[in-house]
Chains A and B, each alone.
Chain A
Amino acid sequence: DSGVTQTPKHLITATGQRVTLRCSPRSGDLSVYWYQQSLDQGLQFLIQYYNGEERAKGNILERFSAQQFPDLHSELNLSSLELGDSALYFCASSASDRQNIQYFGAGTRLSVL
């Protein structure tokens, strides 16, 4: 158990809809990262928050947004969903904002029908 909690585990929705994925980092970790992993693909970095502030941005679509709350949990919002958004979405946390030592949650599997 990495200590990172993601909910829900599975999400099935329709095109055009909006969903919210939630992540609670390990106790004491200030950084939260979001990744997308499509079938047989590597991990695509979406965005990082550090202590409530956006720290780094990857290839995140404009339809996607995220935030980190004062209690350090984070949410990833995906809107105007398309079939191609179907993927595994992972959240990870780390103590540092620079070192690439991250602990991943179990992921949310999103299916857009």
Chain B
Amino acid sequence: GQSLEQPSEVTAVEGAIVQINCTYQTSGFYGLSWYQQHDGGAPTFLSYNALDGLEETGRFSSFLSRSDSYGYLLLQELQMKDSASYFCAVRDTRDDKIIFGKGTRLHILP
């Protein structure tokens, strides 16, 4: 079946680095996306990996390995405002359905 697995919660300290993993089971997809959602807010697009490798956007980086069915979002120099839920998502090539992981809630300690 089609599924994306993420840890439900991650806790890190302000100023540190945190990695949020996403493993998937789907036969094929166009690319791996990451979205951030603050409580009560709308998801906002963070990063997209069409190909294997690392994509860097400021403090955020995202990585994809299709051979390992695995990707991750890396957040550096954590700030309190990074406290939010993070979702990975793919678009399945078989039926074009969009699948979101259940999200990882990131808690940041001062």
Contacts and interface: CB of A to CB of B under 8 A. Distances in A.
B45 A103 contact: yes
Contacts of A58: 97-98
A104 interface: yes
Given A41-B102, A90-B42, A100 B89 contact: yes
Nearest to B93: A98
B95 interface: yes
Interface in B44-88: 44-45, 48, 50, 87
Contacts of B35: 102, 104
Interface string A18-45: 0000000000000001000000011111
Q: Bin chain B's interface residue count.
A: 20 to 34
Contacts, number: 66
Interface string A50-94: 000001111000000000000000000000000000000010100
Interface of B: 30-33, 35, 41-45, 48, 50, 87, 89-91, 95-103
Contacts of B98: 33, 45, 48, 56, 58, 100
A92 B90 CA distance: 15
B87 A99 contact: no
Interface of A: 2, 33, 41-45, 48, 55-58, 90, 92, 98-107
8 contacts: A2-B42, A2-B44, A42-B87, A42-B100, A56-B98, A99-B30, A101-B45, A103-B44
Given A45-B100, A48-B96, A99-B50, A104 B42 contact: yes
B44 A56 contact: no
Question: Which among A33, A57, A99, A105 has the highest number of chain B CB atoms within 10 Å?
Answer: A99
Contacts of A2: 42, 44
Contact of B101 (A33, A42, A55, A106): A42
Contacts of B96: 48, 55-56, 98
A100 B44 CA distance: 12
Given A45-B100, A104-B44, 7 more contacts: A42-B102, A56-B96, A56-B98, A58-B98, A90-B42, A100-B90, A102-B45
